[in-house]
Amino acid sequence: MKKAIIYIPNKSPMQSGLAKSNKWILEFKTEDPTKNPLMGWESSSDTYTELKLEFSSKELAINYAKKKKIDFELIEPRKRKIVKKSYADNFLK
């Protein structure tokens, strides 16, 4: 049975805004990671790990996984804590 993770990806460290943070990703887990004897890299014969499916909502991703009989783990996004700052705060402390 295939196993997958459904989540919203984190924003890039180079990104200041929240653009492209509203897509839900369904990503498959590696079932049999092995070590490549020649180079020492981790490899796998499981090609599902190369798939990343994007969905516009959480419900669509869950419905897809249930329809295709994929076991999934749902990772809910954390609420972002916004601290309002003023330019004057740099000089008051």
Beta strands in 1-93 (DSSP E): 3-7, 24-28, 34-35, 42-43, 52-55, 71-74
Q: How far apart are CA 54 and CA 7, in angstroms?
A: 10
Tokens of 26: 């369904």
The CATH class, in words, for 1-8+24-29+45-93 is: alpha beta
pLDDT at position 56 over 80: yes
Domain ranges of the chain: 1-8+24-29+45-93
Contact 24, 52 (CB under 8 A): no
* Span 8-29, pLDDT tens digits: 988 777 877 777 678 999 999 8
pTM exceeds 0.75: no
- Render pLDDT for 59-91 as a digit per residue (tens, 0 to 9): 999 999 999 999 999 999 888 788 888 888 888
DSSP 8-state code for residue 56 = S
Kindly report the number of other CB atoms within 10 A of residue 13's CB atom: 6
